[in-house]
């Protein structure tokens, strides 16, 4: 997709920016290191009426709010599933079995993509605008990619939670909002709680009226209960996905590109990853190897705005300037065309063609690096007090 | 970036705002998170007259006067708190011991916390209403303190804290605050603030926090009259201890969880319905569920599983091989469990040896027979959705009282036998056995847990000696939930100021005359039973110049005096109907209205609501109109007087002539009705004659039927039908109507079979017309009463008629089966029935006399009214009948009468005989026939019981028998009842 914003930079400026980002190490306009994120402000629980909510404000002034609402919904019965066993679970025995049962329960659980409904609202855009729809599709793709998320919404064989995610950009879309929306959604899901189930088995669900007792959709693992956290199934420790925007300029990989940086990107990727909770840190001591097990969920190439920028023209080819001034002819025109396709130092040339395989590989590797950027981001978001 | 959250730190009033977050599950299955903001304030007064500070900020009324403070400056003391004390009960204290708080001997100056009040409302609406009543009463000094809104006493729920713990903490915090607050008043003696709770944990925490707290029992012991009140403390207080002592096997199966039951019911695996106990067999219950055409049977203690008559329960159907026939045996609780010892807690089996034997015989009998088609589905109770426990009238089973404890104040456990045979024995602990034996007492059931064979209850109050008129009448009223307390002042305030001097205004410009027709010139008279004071209706007729006849029915205009939604209207809607007992009338409206201002008394002008028809001489209606009017009744006849006057041909005055016209028309109307298929049903009705001075019953008479009764009846029916049509036309959604559902065919199965087998008669039930015809054919040339007998039995197969709101049913369902009318309502007795009053208001709105009042238009409200008056109406009938039965028994006291009776029902060990002369029926058991008990063979196919041994007899259904009726007091149970002895079989 075209990340629509027009960048008001001249070809010369673009060429300069591209050149400085191609250096090793790259020099970014705001002085950040290639993996450094811009500072952001985040808070959760801003909408008391929702099951979970968050707000994130980026330093460039873009700001998003996400609210998560859950409703109980009857699961459409598939053929063969109709038999309802009342006794099962109701007759459930001792506490010792509970762990096991929970494990079995997780196996039994099924999820369905229709249990999550996501709407994205960008000011100034219609909600059926292709840009908005694509954003929503990318965000929900990340969420539903591994099918693990919807299993969390399973109540019993007859009922499930239906989750409504309302994602709203409340500032004008100054830069490509995907990372902002993704991080906010991540934070909102982290703070999401669902009422505690009291009924057993396939009964009509019946919930605890105490909100304080409602468990988190993504259970917390605080340092006090590491032991229990370890013993629980790994699925329980998984965090919601995040989708990061990563771009490459030359051989440099740059995280969290600003609007201007994106304007000279050779390749821009939206990479969705998910990671488990940081309990492993404590478990494995302070080793360098510590970090999360990250899983790649999806990669989308994003059409960078750089492709739409006007090309620069080498002085030599410029008919209005330089030695060729005034001498026009078909030969000159052909030369100019040739100049467009050939790289010339200091002349801006919009990137053409797809991403190089090597670059892609390096990019993904960088993202999935243990203890790398993603870990940092996830840690930071986990640190946001959700209450 | 500034946070979007309300920042509480920077807000100077942040302490005044708090919020409450909880999860609400709606009926439709929605689950919502609810967030409520709570604004805390400091101007909620403590309402103690000692306090000088609160009075300054207390809310003021329109005149600027502060509200009067409730709690006394010198409250009563107890032995532990001699300086005086205020009570702060927790929720459970109110839930379990409301009777205590209603005592006049103690329990003054009570602070009802908002948190407690709300919890009481959520748990039990009737108790909540009683508590509200207490807070309204001025002399009890109950004050509702809104602790949740007062800054100092507000408590936020802590993490992991249960709601109950939080509420307990709120109570303790309020108690502590009151203590500190009162200490600051610098009064000479500061009353103690005492928390009342039966929760041990709560008491312990209170002790830790240094708050004075008592359990109910401890507190009552401190009072002067403590011993007497101690009995009224519910059992649950000690239950914890009892349970710890005996961890024995639970006797009853555990109930399902609520969610499991609801899922089961929704899936059709379980069924929900009202549990009813058979009046003849306390071990057999039935439950009517929509899924089965016949009621499900529930047999035996274990399957009944602690359900009590009237509870809303969930049942599971048993496998088909356990299906049974309804019992043909009479099993009475007092005879089988007579020798049980209330003290010895049942460690043995749930089902006692004797009970087992009784059931065994049942099973044997069903096995003997191969008539599988007769088996009915059986079920077991798996849970109770809603207990419908009320207070029960009963008496102490004398045999359960141990002799050693007859004296002294030791607590003793006894059985109470409820008056209602369907209610099981209640275990009761009391210190006043000696005083209570032989008295009618009121008890409340507290609990029935799995480990106890009988429910546990506590004593509420004593009604008086057994068999005294006052006690027995009150017992009946309580048992049928009749509101018999005198009208409160708020109701009496709604009466016209003039009292008995109220007159119809002479000046026709008076607003009272607006839109009223002046019918004072008509020759109107009323015909009622002798001694009737609340005259609802009056009639007239006069020839019209065109040869037709004008007939008018004039009904007391009660709606003129009872305006919607005032205190009197509310009271009347709760009472629902006037209840007629043999010696007493419990009015729906205050006397002033019922017997004077509304009553269409003769010779005075009264407001009325008139229905005027123009009829042809063949009683065909030409047109009808409705109007408010002013009438002047010429005469108030009794049925007998009117009959004499009509029959006396020498009487040729206008009034008599008009009655004759009415009579002639009524006969034609009746014929039309019968042609349409109206049923003439019957129930044995008798009248008790009282001695005028002492009002002791002296004789019993069956009611005589006079033409004049049918005259009044016909025109009332006609008026009701006409009004029903009119209000339905005006308010198709909200008209208050009365329907009588066609009974399901299966209801008549048994009777039809009996008639076919015993008399070769065919009962066809396709329509009311067919039924009416086949009932007419039910005659036995030798026995004239047989037809009435058949009618009585057919009546018992019918459904009950009910009030409903027209929007809730489809038009074909409006039909009144018994009257064979498409549409029907009650309009003609507004003095004694609330439904009629509503119909009056609707009719007045329909004819444009007054604006439609919202309460007459709101469907939800009308449905609630209908539901209530249906219950009240039924109860009133039952109470009336029970009253007659009691007086029949009293009239027979010490006498023995030989009468003819008819066998109404046959069991394998007894039969029921109806004596029409007294309108009573009683059971004659095999063991009453002779000693030793004769052996008997019961043939269910032919409804014959053949006895052999000490007495040889053959008793058949419908048979005429000669019985000796005496009245007898069962010494063991202290119950007096009619006793019949079989003399001979015709």
Distances (CA, A) of B451 to A277, B283, B353, B426, B447: 49, 19, 18, 14, 11
pLDDT band at B976, cuts 50/70/90?
low
For residues B626 and B919, the model is more confident at B626
**Residue range(s) occupied by CATH 3.40.50.1010 in chain B:** 69-233
Test A203 with B19 for CB contact under 8 angstroms.
Answer: no
Token match 């609520």: residue? Answer: B258
For residues A302 and B145, the model is more confident at B145
3-state helix, strand, coil in chain B (%, to 5): 35, 25, 40
Within 8 A of B21 by CB-CB distance, chain A residues are: 48, 211-212
d(CA B18, CA B128): 27
Residues A8-34: what's their mean pLDDT?
88
Q: Which pLDDT score, from 0 to 100, does residue B476 have?
A: 85
Cis peptide before B70 (omega within 30 of 0): no
Q: Which pLDDT score, from 0 to 100, does residue B847 have?
A: 92
pLDDT band at A52, cuts 50/70/90?
very high
Q: Which pLDDT score, from 0 to 100, does residue B606 have?
A: 93
Residue B984: pLDDT over 50 = yes
Q: Does A63 touch chain B (CB under 8 A)?
A: yes
Give the nearest partner residue to A72 out of B1, B31, B256, using CB atoms: B31
Q: Which pLDDT score, from 0 to 100, does residue B611 have?
A: 95
Q: Does A212 touch chain B (CB under 8 A)?
A: yes
Give the nearest partner residue to A203 out of B23, B159, B260, using CB atoms: B260
pLDDT 10s digits, B923-934? 888 877 877 778
d(CA A233, CA A220): 13
- The answer to whether position A187 is within a domain reads yes
Residue B773: pLDDT over 90 = no
Test B257 with A211 for CB contact under 8 angstroms.
Answer: no
- The answer to whether position A117 is within a domain reads yes
Residue A340: pLDDT over 60 = no
Within 8 A of A188 by CB-CB distance, chain B residues are: none
β pairing state of B579-580 and A116-121: unpaired
| Containing structural domain, residue A112 | 11-91+107-225+235-312+348-382
Residue B150: pLDDT over 70 = yes
d(CA B87, CA B89): 6
d(CA B605, CA B512): 13
Give the nearest partner residue to A72 out of B4, B29, B162, using CB atoms: B29
Highest CATH level, class, for B389-479: mainly beta
Residues B528-532: what's their mean pLDDT?
86
Backbone angles phi, psi at A58, to 5 degrees: -85, 160
pLDDT band at B894, cuts 50/70/90?
confident
d(CA A8, CA A309): 9
Q: Which pLDDT score, from 0 to 100, does residue B557 have?
A: 93
Within 8 A of A210 by CB-CB distance, chain B residues are: 22-23, 157, 162-163
Q: Which two tokens stand for residue B468?
A: 């005294």
For residues B70 and A188, the model is more confident at A188
Residue A283: pLDDT over 50 = no
**Window 181-210 of A, Cβ < 8 Å to B:** 195, 198-210
Q: Which pLDDT score, from 0 to 100, does residue B61 have?
A: 74
Residue A110: pLDDT over 50 = yes
Q: Does A73 touch chain B (CB under 8 A)?
A: no
Residue B228: pLDDT over 80 = no
Residue B146: pLDDT over 80 = yes
d(CA B979, CA A206): 54
Q: Which pLDDT score, from 0 to 100, does residue A214 have?
A: 86
Residue A100: pLDDT over 50 = no
Residues B141-157: what's their mean pLDDT?
88
Q: In a mutagenesis test of the A interface, which of B19, B27, B29, B268 is the best target, namely the one with the most A β-carbons within 10 Å?
A: B29
Within 8 A of B4 by CB-CB distance, chain A residues are: 43, 46, 55, 65
- The answer to whether position A328 is within a domain reads no
Q: Which CATH architecture has domain B69-233?
A: 3-Layer(aba) Sandwich (3.40)
Q: How far is A195 from chain B (nearest CA, A)?
A: 7
Say which CATH topology domain B258-386 has: OB fold (Dihydrolipoamide Acetyltransferase, E2P) (2.40.50)
Upper half-sphere CA count for residue B532 (Cβ side, 13 Å): 22
Q: Of the candidates A268, A295, A284, which has an alpha carbon nearest to the alpha carbon of residue A359?
A: A268
Q: Which pLDDT score, from 0 to 100, does residue B545 have?
A: 93
Q: Does A57 touch chain B (CB under 8 A)?
A: yes
Residues B477-494: what's their mean pLDDT?
83
Residue B542: pLDDT over 80 = yes
Residue B332: pLDDT over 80 = no
Q: Which pLDDT score, from 0 to 100, does residue B658 have?
A: 92
pLDDT band at A1, cuts 50/70/90?
very low
Q: Which pLDDT score, from 0 to 100, does residue B356 have?
A: 60
Cis peptide before B240 (omega within 30 of 0): no
d(CA A153, CA A164): 12
For residues A343 and B292, the model is more confident at B292
pLDDT 10s digits, A365-383? 888 887 788 888 888 888 7
Q: Which pLDDT score, from 0 to 100, does residue B616 have?
A: 93
Q: Of the candidates B617, B488, B628, B508, which has an alpha carbon nearest to the alpha carbon of residue B559?
A: B628
Distances (CA, A) of B411 to B304, B403, B431: 31, 13, 4
pLDDT 10s digits, A229-282? 343 444 446 788 999 899 888 888 999 888 888 888 888 889 998 876 555 444
Coil, strand or helix at B15: helix
Maximum mean pLDDT: which of A202-216, B705-719, B846-860 = B705-719
Residue B253: pLDDT over 60 = yes
For residues B660 and B362, the model is more confident at B660
Maximum mean pLDDT: which of A13-17, B148-152, B489-493, B612-616 = B612-616
For residues A78 and B259, the model is more confident at B259
Say which CATH topology domain B894-985 has: OB fold (Dihydrolipoamide Acetyltransferase, E2P) (2.40.50)
Upper half-sphere CA count for residue B512 (Cβ side, 13 Å): 17
**Residue range(s) occupied by CATH 2.40.50.140 in chain B:** 894-985
d(CA A245, CA A182): 10
- The answer to whether position A318 is within a domain reads no
Q: Give the CATH number, domain containing residue A82.
A: 3.30.230.70
Sequence-distant contacts of B46-50: CB under 8 A, at least 24 apart: B46/B71, B46/B145, B46/B178, B46/B181, B46/B182, B47/B71, B47/B143, B47/B145, B48/B73, B48/B86, B48/B182, B48/B185, B48/B191, B49/B73, B50/B182, B50/B185, B50/B187, B50/B190, B50/B191
Non-local CB neighbours of B487 within 8 Å, separated by 6+ positions: B571, B590
Residue B540: pLDDT over 50 = yes
> Are the beta carbons of A176 and A32 closer than 8 angstroms?
no
Q: What is the number of structural domains in chain A?
A: 1
Coil, strand or helix at B151: helix
> Are the beta carbons of B383 and B256 closer than 8 angstroms?
yes
pLDDT 10s digits, B821-844? 899 999 999 999 999 999 999 999
> To the nearest whole number, what is the mean pLDDT of chain B?
83
Question: Which residue in A has a C-alpha nearest to residue B269's C-alpha?
Answer: A86
Residue B870: pLDDT over 70 = yes
Q: Which pLDDT score, from 0 to 100, does residue B585 have?
A: 87
For residues A309 and B112, the model is more confident at B112
- The answer to whether position A337 is within a domain reads no
Q: Of the candidates B451, B83, B525, which has an alpha carbon nearest to the alpha carbon of residue B248?
A: B451
Least confident range from A158-162, B22-26, B722-726: namely: B22-26
Residues B21-29: what's their mean pLDDT?
80
Least confident range from B408-412, B465-469, B504-508: namely: B408-412
**Residue range(s) occupied by CATH 2.40.50.690 in chain B:** 258-386
pLDDT band at B278, cuts 50/70/90?
confident
């Amino acid at each position: 997709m075209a990340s629509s914003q027009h960048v008001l930079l001249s070809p010369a400026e673009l060429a300069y920016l591209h050149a400085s980002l191609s250096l090793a190490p790259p020099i970014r306009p705001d002085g950040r290191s290639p993996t450094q994120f811009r500072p952001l402000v985040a808070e959760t629980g801003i909408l008391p009426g929702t099951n979970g909510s968050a707000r994130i404000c980026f330093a460039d002034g873009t700001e998003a709010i996400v609210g998560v609402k859950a409703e109980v919904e009857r699961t459409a019965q598939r053929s063969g599933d109709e038999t309802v066993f009342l006794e099962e679970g109701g007759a459930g025995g001792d506490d010792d079995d509970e762990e096991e049962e929970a494990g079995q329960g997780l196996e039994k659980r099924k999820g369905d993509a229709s249990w999550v409904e996501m709407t994205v609202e960008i000011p100034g855009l219609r909600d059926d605008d292709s840009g908005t729809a694509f954003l929503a599709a990318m965000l929900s793709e990340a969420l539903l990619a591994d099918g693990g998320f919807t299993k969390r919404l399973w109540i019993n064989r007859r009922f499930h939670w239906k989750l409504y995610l309302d994602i709203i950009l409340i500032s004008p879309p100054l830069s490509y909002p995907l990372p902002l929306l993704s991080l906010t959604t991540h934070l909102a899901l982290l703070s999401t709680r669902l009422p505690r189930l009291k009924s057993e088995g396939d009964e009509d669900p019946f919930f605890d009226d105490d909100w304080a007792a409602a468990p988190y959709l993504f259970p917390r693992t605080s340092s006090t209960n590491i032991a229990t956290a370890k013993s629980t199934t790994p699925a329980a420790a998984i965090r919601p996905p995040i989708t990061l925007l990563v771009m490459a300029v030359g051989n440099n990989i740059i995280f969290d590109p600003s609007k201007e940086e994106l304007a000279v990107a050779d390749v821009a990727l939206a990479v969705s990853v998910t990671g488990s909770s940081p309990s492993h840190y404590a478990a494995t001591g302070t080793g360098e190897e510590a970090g999360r097990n990250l899983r790649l969920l999806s990669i989308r190439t994003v059409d960078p705005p750089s492709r739409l920028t006007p090309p620069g023209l080498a002085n030599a080819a410029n008919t209005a300037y330089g030695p060729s001034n005034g001498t026009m002819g078909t030969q000159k025109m052909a030369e100019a065309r040739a100049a467009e396709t050939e790289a010339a130092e200091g002349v801006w040339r919009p990137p053409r063609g797809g991403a190089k395989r090597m670059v892609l590989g390096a990019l993904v590797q960088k993202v999935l690096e243990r203890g790398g950027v993603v870990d940092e981001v996830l840690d930071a978001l986990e640190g946001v007090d959700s209450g | 970036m500034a946070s979007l959250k309300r920042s509480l730190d920077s807000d100077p009033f942040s302490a005044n705002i708090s919020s409450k977050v909880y999860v609400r599950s709606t009926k439709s299955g929605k689950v919502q998170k609810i967030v409520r903001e709570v604004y805390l304030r400091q101007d909620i007064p403590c309402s103690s007259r000692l306090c000088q500070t609160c009075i300054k900020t207390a809310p003021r009324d329109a005149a600027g006067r502060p509200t009067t403070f409730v709690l006394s400056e010198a409250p009563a003391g107890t032995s532990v708190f001699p300086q005086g004390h205020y009570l702060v009960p927790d929720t459970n204290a109110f839930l379990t011991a409301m009777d205590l708080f209603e005592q006049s001997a103690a329990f003054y100056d009570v602070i009802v916390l908002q948190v407690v009040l709300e919890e009481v409302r959520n748990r039990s609406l009737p108790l909540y209403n009683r508590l509200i009543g207490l807070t309204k009463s001025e002399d009890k000094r109950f004050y509702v303190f809104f602790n949740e809104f007062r800054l100092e006493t507000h408590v936020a729920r802590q993490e992991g804290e249960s709601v109950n713990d939080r509420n307990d903490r709120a109570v303790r915090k309020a108690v502590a605050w009151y203590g500190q607050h009162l200490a600051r008043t610098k009064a000479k003696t500061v009353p103690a603030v005492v928390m009342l709770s039966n929760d041990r944990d709560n008491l312990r925490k209170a002790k830790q926090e240094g708050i004075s707290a008592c359990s109910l029992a401890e507190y009552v012991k401190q009072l002067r009259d403590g011993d007497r009140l101690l009995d009224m403390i519910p059992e649950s207080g000690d239950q914890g201890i009892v349970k710890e002592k005996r961890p024995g096997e639970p006797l009853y199966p555990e109930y399902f969880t609520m969610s499991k039951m609801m899922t089961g019911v929704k899936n059709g695996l379980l069924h929900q319905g009202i549990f009813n106990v058979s009046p003849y067999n306390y071990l057999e219950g039935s439950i009517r569920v929509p899924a089965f055409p016949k009621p499900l049977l529930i047999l035996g203690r274990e399957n009944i599983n602690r359900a009590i008559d009237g509870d809303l329960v969930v049942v599971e159907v048993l496998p088909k091989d356990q299906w049974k026939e309804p019992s043909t045996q009479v099993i009475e609780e007092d005879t089988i469990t007579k020798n049980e010892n209330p003290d010895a807690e049942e460690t043995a089996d749930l089902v006692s040896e004797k009970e087992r034997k009784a059931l065994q015989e049942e099973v044997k009998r069903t096995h003997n027979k191969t008539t599988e088609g007769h088996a009915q589905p059986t079920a077991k109770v798996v849970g109770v959705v809603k207990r419908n426990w009320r207070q029960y009238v009963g008496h102490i089973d004398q045999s359960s009282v141990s002799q050693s404890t007859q004296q002294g104040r030791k607590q003793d456990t006894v059985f109470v036998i409820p008056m209602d045979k369907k209610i099981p024995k209640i275990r009761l602990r009391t210190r006043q056995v000696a005083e209570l034996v032989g008295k009618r007492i009121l008890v409340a059931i507290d609990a029935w847990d799995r480990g106890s064979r009988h429910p546990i209850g506590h004593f509420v109050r004593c009604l008086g000696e057994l068999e005294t008129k006052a006690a027995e009448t009150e017992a009946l009223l309580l048992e049928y939930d009749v509101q018999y307390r005198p009208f409160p002042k708020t109701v009496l305030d709604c009466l016209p100021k003039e009292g008995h001097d109220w007159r119809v205004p002479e000046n026709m410009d008076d607003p009272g005359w607006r839109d009223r027709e002046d019918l004072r010139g008509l020759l109107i008279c009323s015909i009622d039973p002798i001694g009737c004071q609340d005259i609802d209706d009056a009639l007239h007729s006069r020839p019209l110049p065109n040869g037709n006849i004008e007939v008018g029915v004039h009904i007391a205009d009660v709606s003129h005096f009872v305006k919607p939604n005032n205190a009197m209207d509310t009271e009347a809607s709760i009472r629902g109907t006037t209840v007629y007992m043999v010696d007493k009338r419990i009015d729906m409206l205050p006397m002033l209205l019922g017997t004077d201002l509304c009553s269409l008394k003769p010779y005075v002008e009264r407001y009325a609501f008139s229905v005027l028809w123009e009829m042809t001489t063949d009683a065909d209606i030409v047109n009808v109109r409705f109007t408010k009017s002013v009438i002047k009744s010429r005469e108030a006849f009794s049925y007998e007087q009117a009959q004499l006057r009509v029959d006396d041909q020498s009487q040729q005055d206008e009034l008599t002539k008009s009655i004759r016209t009415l009579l002639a028309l009524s006969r034609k109307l009746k014929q039309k009705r019968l042609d349409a298929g109206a049923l003439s049903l019957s129930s044995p009705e008798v009248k008790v004659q009282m001695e005028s001075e002492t009002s002791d019953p002296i004789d019993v008479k069956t009611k005589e039927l006079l033409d004049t009764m049918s005259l009044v009846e016909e025109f009332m029916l006609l008026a009701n039908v006409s009004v029903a049509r009119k209000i339905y036309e005006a308010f198709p959604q909200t008209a208050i109507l009365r329907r009588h559902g066609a009974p399901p065919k299966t209801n008549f199965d048994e009777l039809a079979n009996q008639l076919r087998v015993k008399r070769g008669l065919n009962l066809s039930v396709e329509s009311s017309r067919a039924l009416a015809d086949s009932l007419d054919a039910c005659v036995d040339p030798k026995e004239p009463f047989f037809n009435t007998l058949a009618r009585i039995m057919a009546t018992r197969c019918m459904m009950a008629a009910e009030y409903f709101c027209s929007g809730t049913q489809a038009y074909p369902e409006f039909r009144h089966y018994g009257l064979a009318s498409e549409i029907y309502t009650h309009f003609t007795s507004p003095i004694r029935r609330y439904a009629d009053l509503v119909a009056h208001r609707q009719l007045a709105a329909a004819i444009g006399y007054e604006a439609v009042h919202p309460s007459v238009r709101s469907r939800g409200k009308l449905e609630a009214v209908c539901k209530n008056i249906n219950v009240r109406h039924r109860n009133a009938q039952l109470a009336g009948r029970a009253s007659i039965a009691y007086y029949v028994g009293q009239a027979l006291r010490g006498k023995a009468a030989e009468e003819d009776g008819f066998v109404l029902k046959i069991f394998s060990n007894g039969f029921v005989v109806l004596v029409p002369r007294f309108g009573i029926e009683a059971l004659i058991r095999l063991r009453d026939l002779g000693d030793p008990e004769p052996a008997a063979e019961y043939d269910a196919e032919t409804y014959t019981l053949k006895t052999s041994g000490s007495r040889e007899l053959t008793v058949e259904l419908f048979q005429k028998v000669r019985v000796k009726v005496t009245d007898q007091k069962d010494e063991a149970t202290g119950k007096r009842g009619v006793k019949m002895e079989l003399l001979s079989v015709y």
